[in-house]
């Protein structure tokens, strides 16, 4: 995980500009997808070519165990968050097989920690007049940078205690700007 200094996160949207994209490592994602597909293909091939009435129960069960363990990472990688794209109008959460989600900056309401199976970030927003929520995992690359970019673009956003501790306050931003000006 990348270590951030406070001044790295100050005015991040001005420093890095728009549009900007953060993405999950394509090498890792596609390697896992291809490995899962290969394991599925092998298990299916094994069922149709090597399993017959005389095959032991153990050898009949193994391909189904392989299928079970291959489908889980395949589905996770195909339907989980793949890219986060910042634009001047809002943020786009991109997926490989799901429909992309666009949220305008002014429609965001609250950013909080979600504690389900894994710790995640919950973003509450308005869509067509009704409040909705989007949950994305904290293991996404550059998460601290993403959260502080959202906070910078949405000064009206509400936070829970956890998010208050990891986002820069206006005082911290002003202090960091002053230090940068002194360096000069």
Number of H helices, E strands in the chain: 7, 8
CB distance 168 to 147 below 8 Å: no
Q: 26-50 and 57-79 helices cross at what angle (nearest 10)?
A: 150
**How confident is the model over 69-95, as a mean pLDDT?**
95
**Residue 125, SS3 per DSSP:** strand
Round the average pLDDT of the chain to a whole number and report it.
88
**CA 139 from centre of chain:** 7
CB distance 50 to 60 below 8 Å: no
Question: What per-residue confidence (pLDDT) applies to 5?
Answer: 60
pLDDT tens per residue across span 7-24: 566 677 777 888 999 999
**Pairwise CA distance, residues 167 & 163, whole Å:** 6
Would you kindly state where each structural domain of the chain is located, as residue ranges?
A: 6-21+104-183, 28-78
Is residue 116's pLDDT more than 60? yes
Torsion sign (Cα): 100, 105, 106, 110: positive
Query: Quick one: pLDDT band at residue 178, thresholds 50, 70, 90?
Result: confident
120's CB contacts (< 8 A; 6+ apart) are 113, 114, 135, 136, 137, 138
Residues pairing with 135 in the sheet: 122
CB distance 113 to 162 below 8 Å: yes
Query: Quick one: pLDDT band at residue 182, thresholds 50, 70, 90?
Result: confident
């Amino acid at each position: 995980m990348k270590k951030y200094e406070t001044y790295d996160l100050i005015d991040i949207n001005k420093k890095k500009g728009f549009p900007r994209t953060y993405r999950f490592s394509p090498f890792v994602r596609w390697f896992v997808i291809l490995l899962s597909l290969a394991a599925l293909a092998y298990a299916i091939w094994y069922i149709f070519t090597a399993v017959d009435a005389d095959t032991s129960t153990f050898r009949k069960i193994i391909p189904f165990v392989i299928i079970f363990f291959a489908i889980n990472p395949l589905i996770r990688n195909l339907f989980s968050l793949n890219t986060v794209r910042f634009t001047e109008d809002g943020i786009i959460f991109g997926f490989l097989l799901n429909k992309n989600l666009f949220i305008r900056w002014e429609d965001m309401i609250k950013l909080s920690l979600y504690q389900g199976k894994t710790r995640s970030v919950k973003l509450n927003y308005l869509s067509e007049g009704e409040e909705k929520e989007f949950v994305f995992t904290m293991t996404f690359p550059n998460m601290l940078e993403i959260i502080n970019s959202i906070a910078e673009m949405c000064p009206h956003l509400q936070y829970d205690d956890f998010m208050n501790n990891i986002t820069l306050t206006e005082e911290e931003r002003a202090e960091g700007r002053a230090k940068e000006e002194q360096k000069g």
